[in-house]
Every structure is written in C-alpha cells, then in structure tokens.
Amino acid sequence: MRFRSVERTRAGWRETDGFSLVDALVALALLAITLASMGQLAVVSAGANLEARHTSALTAAAFDKMEQLRALAWGFDALGLPVSDFSSDASHVPSLAAGGQGLMPSPPGTLETDISGYCDYLSVDGSWKGSGPGVPVGSAYVRRWAVSPLTSNPDALVLSVHAGRLPPAGSAGYALTGAVTLTTIRTRSGG
C-alpha cells in the first residue's frame, strides 16, 4: 500500500509519490534498534561510572591510611639513637597515642584477613566507622595494612595498605572487590 501526498506548487496542487507502509515499518524498526542500543550503552556507562567512583574512593582511602602510618615516628633523635613508634593505635582515625601496634612488624596475613590493630572500616562517604575484626554496621570499605622490616636494611620498613569494597550486608563469604594496594619503603630520618 502506498500513501500519496499532495504538495503545492506555483502552478497549483499536484499529487506526489509518498511512502509505503513497509517504509514506515522499516524506519520504526531502525529507530527501535537505535534506542535499545542507546539504552544498553547508558546502563553500561552507569556501571562503569559507579566502579570508577569506588576505585577513586578506595585509592583515596588507601592513600590516607598510608599517610597516617607515615606520620608515626620512625627516625633518629638528636643523639643519633633510633626513635620508633611501637604504641600508637593506627586502627583509629586519628591515631590514638597509645594502645596499638604503631610500626611494630605485623603478623602474617594482615593484608588478607581482618586482624585487630591492622584493619579499619569506612562508610561509603569515606568516614571512619571503626576497627576490626568485626565489621561495624554501615561499613562499605575495609582497609588492611602490613608493616614489615626490610631485610636488607634494619632502618627501613615496608608499609603496605590494601583497601577493598565489602560485599553487601548478608552476603555469604567475605571476598573484597575492586581492591587497591599501595606499598612504600620508609627509612629512618632525622638526627
């Protein structure tokens, strides 16, 4: 079936060929395919945007913890004697002056499991929720850290911070997603 149209010219009205029902259906099908593809693209884009937001938050959280650890005393005094903070509690934000491990070498596995004194929890907005091993209500992220002496230099420490996204509340198991790990070497300074 073809539709006819009428158009006005200087000479008057004239009948022109229009479009068929098949033409209209093909155009509608192309439009539907295009809109469906754009919808899928929007969903994929939103998911990638959310993942990027989590990665940025985890990177900032790991960096903040690394700076907190680097702020603990590890140097030499005026007489050249080593000064080491082995008592601050870095599992609190800000660090507490006593009651913690400070820069003591951490036990094995502190980057893989929640070990008291070597992990803390943050909400989705990055505010501190508490320290572990139990996950406080409202926590979205966990930070774990390890302090290891550098075997080739007794005046140097390897500091590692591992930050990851916690699974939704009530999920079976405890696997972190989207984890970020920062590692640095800290040497004694001052004197």
pLDDT in tens, 9-46: 777 767 666 667 777 888 889 988 888 888 888 888 88
- pLDDT tier at 1, thresholds 50, 70, 90: low
Between these two residues, 167 and 185, which has the higher pLDDT value?
185
User: Which tokens belong to 10?
Assistant: 């200087």
Instruction: For tokens 């650890």, name the residue.
Output: 69
Residue 83 host element (H or E): strand 82-84
Look at the pTM and tell me if it is higher than 0.95: no
Amino acid at 55: T
Q: For all residues of the chain together, what is the average pLDDT?
A: 86
What's the chain's length in residues?
191
Closest CA to 144 of 174, 104, 106, 178: 106
